[in-house]
Amino acid sequence: MTIDKSEYLIKRHNKVYEVVIGLEVHAQVTSNSKLFSSSSTKFGAEPNTQVSLVDAAFPGMLPVINEFCVKQAIKTGIGLRAQINKRSVFDRKNYFYADLPQGYQISQFKYPIVGEGTVILDMQDGQKEVGIERLHLEQDAGKSIHDMDPQNTLVDLNRSGVALMEIVSKPDLRTPNEVSVYIKKLRSIMRYLGTCDGNMQEGSLRADVNVSVRLKDTKKLGTRCEIKNVNSIKFMQMAIDYEANRQVDLIEEGKSIDQETRLFDTKKNETRSMRSKEDAHDYRYFPDPDLLPLEVNDEFINELKLTIPELPDDKKKRFIEEFKLTPYEATILVSDIETSKYFEEVIAKMGKNQDIKLAVNWITGELFAVLNNKNLEISQSPISAKNLAKLVNLIKNGTISGKIGKTIFELMMDGDKDPQIIVEEKGLKQESDPKALEALIDKIINENQEKAIEYKNGKEKLFGFFVGQAMKISGGKANPQLINEILKKKL
Ligand code: ADP
Ligand code: MG
Is the CB of 107 inside a 6 Å radius of any atom of ligand 1?
no
Which residues line ion ligand 2, judged by CB < 5 Å?
24, 208
Task: For ligand 1, atom 6, name the residue with the nearest CA.
Answer: 168
Q: Is 221 in the pocket of ligand 1 (CB under 6 A)?
A: yes
> Considering only 65-69, 147-151, 168-172, 456-460, which range has the smallest mean pLDDT?
456-460
Residue 424's pLDDT band, with cuts at 50, 70 and 90, is: confident
Give the Å distance between the CA of 477 and the centre of ligand 2: 63
What does the pLDDT average to over 205-212?
97
Q: How far is the CA of 224 from the centre of ligand 1 (A)?
A: 7
DSSP letter, residue 478 = B
β-strands 225-230, 260-265 pairing: parallel
Atom of ligand 1 nearest to the CA of 169: 14
Amino acid in position 378: I
Average pLDDT for 413-439: 86
Cβ–ligand 1 distance for 224 under 6 Å, the answer yes
108 Cβ inside 6 Å of ligand 1: no
Cα separation, 270 vs 263, whole angstroms: 8
Domain boundaries, the chain: 2-305, 312-426, 434-490
> Per residue in 119-132, is it b (16+ CB within 10 Å) or e — as a string?
bbbbeeeeebebeb
Q: Where are the alpha helices (DSSP H) in 196-253?
A: 233-252
CB 171 near ligand 1, within 6 Å: yes
Q: Given a cut of 60, is residue 3 above it in pLDDT?
A: no
Q: pLDDT tens, 235-249?
A: 999 999 999 999 999
Of all atoms in ligand 1, which is nearest to the CA of residue 168?
A: 14
DSSP H/E element including 387: helix 385-396
Q: Please give the number of the atom of ligand 1 that sits closest to the Cα of 221.
A: 23
Burial class (CB in 10 A: 0-12, 13-18, 19+), 344: middle
Mean pLDDT over the full length of the chain: 93
The neighbouring-strand residues paired with 265 are 270
The correct answer on CATH 2.40.50.140 for the domain covering 434-490 is no
Chain segment 54-89, per-residue pLDDT in tens: 999 999 999 999 999 999 999 999 999 999 999 999
Cβ 168 under 6 angstroms from ligand 1? yes
Please tell me whether residue 330 adopts helix, strand or coil conformation. helix
| Residue percentage of the chain with pLDDT more than 90 | 76
Residue 24 near ligand 1, beta carbon < 6 Å: yes
Ligand 1 centroid – CA 8 distance (Å): 20
Whether the CB-CB separation of 212 and 247 falls below 8 Å is answered with yes
**Could you read off the pLDDT of 21-46 as tens digits, one per residue?**
999 999 999 999 999 999 999 999 99
pLDDT score for 476: 79
Q: What is the pLDDT of residue 415?
A: 92
CA of 111 to the centre of ligand 1 (A): 17
Residue 160, pLDDT score = 97
Say if residues 308 and 193 touch (Cβ distance below 8 Å): yes
